[in-house]
Structure 1
Amino acid sequence: GSFRVMGISELSFNDFDPLIMMVYDTKLITVSAKSPYKKIEDLIEDIKARPGKVRMSYSGPGASGHIQGLLLKKVGLDVALIPFGGGNEAMLALLGGQVEFTSSNTAPTLGYIASGDVRVLAVWSDKPVDAFPGVPPITDVLPELKRYFPLEFPNCLLVKKGTPEDVKEVLLKAAKAAVSDPQWIDFVKKVHYVTMHHLEGGAVLDYWRHWESVVSWLLYEAGVAKHSPEKFGIPKP
């Protein structure tokens, strides 16, 4: 989605035929268990009180955490964005007190939640997530973010554009069977993935076009992207 503006690849979702949206790993706004922030409002109030001082770790330019940090800036929260080499390093920075909060994926955070080392203040979503009862969606406290959603980072199955229809039908049938399999459903529940396999074909492409628009323009306006989205005909969100 952001590869073209970042100068990583000339490929886009237009070069593929989407089959089905599978799942996404919810991003979490996470603080250390030792943090004075007990709820998301505490964190937001501190960011407003100390602009440019409250630090957020993320896993490098263009990564999902970076996008979320830029969106916070977009709605007037002057967060100090601190890049690290990956999600694990960003989490370790949180646990080591180098930053005040991070935006982490659910699956690798579960162990830290179970051990009591971290506290989840909000889910990066515009709706509640069943796996985190009582934890508010970020749009509940920052409703101005609603216009950018849906903005999850889902996994989906794609094939090369021009793949014969009969081949796509076979693959789609197999994919539907897979996401209905009890073993798959149990796995998804275990790692707290959110299912999205109701989206197929053109609906998947529509989702990614919206995602590409939001993310590409955020990165470009932040001075991170190498190319303007206009070069690729990507409209502003």
Structure 2
Amino acid sequence: MKKVLLFSLVLVIAASVLASYPNRSVTLVIPWAAGGITDRVGRAFAPYLEKYLGVPVVVLNQPGASGAIGTDFAYSKPADGYTLLLSAETPGVFRVMGTGKLGFDNFEGIMMLVEDTKVVVVPGNSPYQTMDELVTAIKENPGKIKMSYSGPGASGHIQGLLLEEVGLDVSMTPFGGGSPAMLATISGQVDFTFGNIGTVLDYLKTGDLRALAVYTKEERSPAIPDVPPIADAIPEMARYLPLTFPNCILVKEGTPPEIKQVILEAAQKAVQDPGWIEFTESSFYNRMHDVQGDAVIEYWNRWTSIVAWLLYDAGVAPNSPADFGIERF
């Protein structure tokens, strides 16, 4: 009888906790340093999430190890909805890169937020006027057309590896950061690079850069509507696309469904707020709010099945994806 009463008491307390969520501040962990794209998105989104959750949302930066430190920190907290993770793409390759032991399968999805569309750009005085011309030059000069990227495993590196995957042999050079990689392109030190649309727009306007393609299968960017998708010039890439690098909201695995639903409903209202919409439009971010719940993790599973193997095959990742049950796309 006592066991039955005790069990009933536990159920009553648990139901009370769920019913009262949230009753205190929520921490939004950003596993990157202040000033980057993920941080900018997180700090812009937090006030709107706070508005519809009805409690303070405190932004906490926990940078290091390509996002692994902040991801570990978020996972170390109870699965009670009071710690949210604003993640970029890197948990998909923590294990193969040896930077962390966690992955997207240790979390549950709430919602995708936005992605900053990538653009293939060349110097303003480049001889290449179209993506077709650049592709032709790569095919005629294997290993000689130079591309800059920020560093091993970064988005630009992955995009370069995908070019190689479809038979385009380019000479890739890391420059230690997105800005140096972009400056190397502007100066003509390299032939092309992949840049975020928000970063390259001003350079396009001044003529320092020329856009040849957006990194999509079919979609064009409203910011540069005359620039075609990369799959038009390289149809072999279509099967891998979309392969974007969005931000998303995650909670630790085991978070009660009732709490996840409260967070999701607040997020759904937040992304419809005129202030948030204005922020995304002025930044030319592609909104991915319709990817919610389990679909968030499904997206990352597909992404990981492509990227983890690209990095391993290129000798960048020391650990085989097969060791972690990651099937090849």
1:29-178 superposed matches below 5 A: 29-131=120-222, 132-178=224-270
RMSD of aligned C-alpha atoms?
Answer: 1.0
Offset at 1:3?
1.3
Offset at 1:49?
1.2
The one-letter amino acid of 2:109's match is P
In structure 1, runs of 5+ residues without a counterpart are: none
Identity of aligned residues (%): 54
Rg larger for: 2
Question: 1:11 matched to which residue of 2?
Answer: 102
Note the alpha carbon deviations across 1:123-171, whole angstroms, 9 max, x for none: 1111222322121111111111111122111111101111122221221
Tell me the secondary structure at the aligned position of residue 247 of structure 2. strand
The one-letter amino acid of 2:117's match is T
Contact 2:158 2:310 in 1 (8 A): yes
Matched, 1:2 2:93: yes
Tell me the secondary structure at the aligned position of residue 192 of structure 1. coil
Offset at 1:114?
2.5
Note the alpha carbon deviations across 1:5-58, whole angstroms, 9 max, x for none: 000111100010100111111111001111111110111111111111100000
Tell me the secondary structure at the aligned position of residue 127 of structure 2. coil
Question: 2:290 matched to which residue of 1?
Answer: 198
144-153 or 52-61: which moved more?
A: 144-153
54-63 or 160-169: which moved more?
A: 160-169
Contact 2:214 2:221 in 1 (8 A): no
Relative contact order, CA 8 A, sep 6+: which one is greater? Answer: 1
Note the alpha carbon deviations across 1:157-211, whole angstroms, 9 max, x for none: 1011111222212211111111101111111111111111111111111110000
Matched, 1:227 2:309: no
> Using the alignment, how far apart are the partners of 2:220 and 2:277 within structure 1?
16
Report runs of 4+ in structure 1 exceeding 3 Å deviation: none
> Using the alignment, how far apart are the partners of 1:130 and 1:50 within structure 2?
30
Contact 1:128 1:135 in 2 (8 A): no
- The TM-score, its normalising length taken from structure 1, stands at 0.97
146-155 or 8-17: which moved more?
A: 146-155
Offset at 1:95?
1.2
The one-letter amino acid of 1:38's match is Q
> Using the alignment, how far apart are the partners of 1:28 and 1:2 within structure 2?
23
- The TM-score, its normalising length taken from structure 2, stands at 0.71
In structure 2, runs of 5+ residues without a counterpart are: 1-91
Matched, 1:208 2:300: yes
Contact 1:24 1:153 in 2 (8 A): yes
Tell me the secondary structure at the aligned position of residue 214 of structure 1. helix
Contact 1:21 1:196 in 2 (8 A): yes
The one-letter amino acid of 2:294's match is G
How many residues get paired?
237
Question: 2:20 matched to which residue of 1?
Answer: none
